[in-house]
Amino acid sequence: MLTASLAHEIACENAAVTGLGILITDRDGEVIGSSDPKRLGTCHEASLEVVRTREPASHTARQAAALHGVKPGLTLPILVDGEAVGTVGITGSPARVRRFGPLVRRHTEILLRESATLRSQLLLEAGIEDLIRDIASFDPEVIESAALVARARELGYTLDVPRIAIVFAVSAETGGGRAPRRDASVLRAELVRVIRERFADADDIVAASTPGRFVVLHRLRRYSPGPTDVATTANCAAIVEAVRVRYSLPLRAAVGGVGAKLMELRLAMQDASDAMLLAAKVAPTATTYTIRELRPHQLLSSAGHRARSRLIATELTELRAQGDWEQLRTTLIAWCEAGFNLVAASARLHIHRNTLIYRIAKIEQITGRSLRDHAACITTYLACLADQIEES
């Protein structure tokens, strides 16, 4: 708990505040921190008795001369939970430095406790980050599931409950403004804190995974797919907005699938990562999206480049030759996703119903196929989605 580097830092800080010579020893009397570097590594004999009795001791010049490595002054025990972990010594006339004793000891003990708390927190965060990475790459042939479940339990989490996977990523685009530069580790911790403000359940697993990327495994107390997506997406949108306002950073969120076992959790996290990647291609202006909205894209993405290119070539060659191809593609996608309904599709596109009718007629003329032939239209729709994927 009382390391040499920490002890030296505390000794120098106390010396700067009081203007006195300060040293810190371990429980064996070795000087491990001192405002006088020459005393580092030496033995401070008076500290042995102070550690044993846990009581302060003062030494005049004559008394100090009879002890090894001791100067006139005051030696006090450093107590943590009632145990003496070392001592702090103040050099000077006992009568002069006595009034500084309680202050220096208290300051030392506070810094020591804060350091221990911070170290414990850092170890906990590192453990959670390792857990997230191991779940994301879980392979039952490589990692024992029981060992991973036990490690999660040690960190305070149960893995065999329904969880929805979410990925947050700081976008490379910074928009028009320029965010102020910050220490990366501090910003990383702050973003984790912002995410935990919304996903505050004690069973929610929140951690940074890679630079600029964060993962949430949100515990679902009552799993119902529809409402779950709505509530989770709303929380994600609130986090994205909070990060934009507080830190001027463009954050994106992708909601994946649900899992209650290790392999299911791995796939749920993969869904979230796929949604993040695909949405950047098909909805670059959006900041929050779900894999539910992108399942067709995910399926087409898994088909491979060659299969997608073949589908595009057979279904869209004539349409892609048109100058307004992107507009026609958007129209086709909206037409299918609106259930082949003129009113719903025109509302999605924010255009007049007559404009939609004109575009549909143009598409039918070019392709020679009726958009009322829903089966054929679905194939064209999938080709349009494949074109979105191939575009980037």
Long-range pairs for 7-13: beta carbons < 8 A, 24 or more residues apart? 7/32, 7/33, 7/86, 8/32, 8/33, 8/34, 8/40, 9/33, 10/107, 10/108, 10/111, 10/112, 11/35, 11/88, 13/107, 13/111
In this structure, is residue 130 part of a structural domain?
no
In this structure, is residue 124 part of a structural domain?
no
> Do 273 and 164 share a domain, yes or no?
yes
How far is it, in rounded angstroms, from Cα 87 to Cα 44? 10
> Do 331 and 261 share a domain, yes or no?
no
Q: Percent of the chain at pLDDT above 90?
A: 69
- Domain end marker among 241, 262, 295: 295
265 alpha carbon, distance to own chain's centre: 17
pLDDT average, residue stretch 138-164: 91
Q: Read off the CATH number of the domain in which 342 is found.
A: 1.10.10.2840
How far is it, in rounded angstroms, from Cα 278 to Cα 290? 10
3-state secondary structure at position 250: coil
> Do 207 and 270 share a domain, yes or no?
yes
> Do 285 and 177 share a domain, yes or no?
yes
> Do 141 and 246 share a domain, yes or no?
yes
Burial 259-298 (b: 16+ CB within 10 A, else e): beebebbbbbbbbbbbbbbbbbebeeeebbbbbebbebbb
Q: Percent of the chain at pLDDT above 70?
A: 95
In this structure, is residue 174 part of a structural domain?
yes
pLDDT value, residue 179:
47
pLDDT value, residue 374:
87
* Domain that residue 283 falls in: 137-295
* Interval 175-202: pLDDT, tens: 444 445 566 778 888 999 999 999 999 9
> Do 363 and 285 share a domain, yes or no?
no
In this structure, is residue 169 part of a structural domain?
yes
Tokens of 215: 């993962």
* Interval 268-299: pLDDT, tens: 999 999 999 999 888 888 899 999 989 999 99
pLDDT average, residue stretch 167-173: 82
Q: In which band, very low, low, confident or very high, does the pLDDT at 226 lie, cut at 50, 70 and 90?
A: low
In this structure, is residue 153 part of a structural domain?
yes
In this structure, is residue 29 part of a structural domain?
yes
- Domain end marker among 84, 116, 148: 116
pLDDT value, residue 225:
63
Q: Does pLDDT of 2 surpass 80?
A: no
In this structure, is residue 122 part of a structural domain?
no
Q: Does pLDDT of 75 surpass 90?
A: yes
Q: Read off the CATH number of the domain in which 233 is found.
A: 3.30.70.270
Q: Does pLDDT of 387 surpass 90?
A: yes
Residues 186, 191, 195, CA angle at the centre, nearest 5°?
150
Q: Read off the CATH number of the domain in which 28 is found.
A: 3.30.450.40
How far is it, in rounded angstroms, from Cα 276 to Cα 218? 17
Q: Does pLDDT of 266 surpass 80?
A: yes
Q: How many CB atoms within 10 Å of residue 340?
A: 16
> Do 66 and 112 share a domain, yes or no?
yes
> Do 108 and 213 share a domain, yes or no?
no
> Do 234 and 373 share a domain, yes or no?
no
pLDDT average, residue stretch 247-251: 93
- Report the mean per-residue pLDDT for the chain: 90
User: Is residue 333 a contact partner of residue 323, using CB atoms and an 8 Å limit?
Assistant: no
How far is it, in rounded angstroms, from Cα 63 to Cα 189? 51
> Do 238 and 387 share a domain, yes or no?
no
pLDDT value, residue 257:
92
- Domain end marker among 245, 266, 295: 295
Burial 108-127 (b: 16+ CB within 10 A, else e): bbebbeebeeeeeeeeebeb
In this structure, is residue 131 part of a structural domain?
no
> Do 315 and 366 share a domain, yes or no?
yes
Domains in the chain: how many in total?
3
According to DSSP H, which parts of the chain are helical?
4-18, 46-53, 61-65, 94-97, 101-136, 145-154, 184-198, 225-247, 262-282, 295-303, 305-320, 325-337, 342-349, 353-367, 374-391
3-state secondary structure at position 103: helix
pLDDT value, residue 174:
44
pLDDT value, residue 1:
63
> Do 220 and 322 share a domain, yes or no?
no
Q: Does pLDDT of 361 surpass 50?
A: yes
Tokens of 193: 């804190």
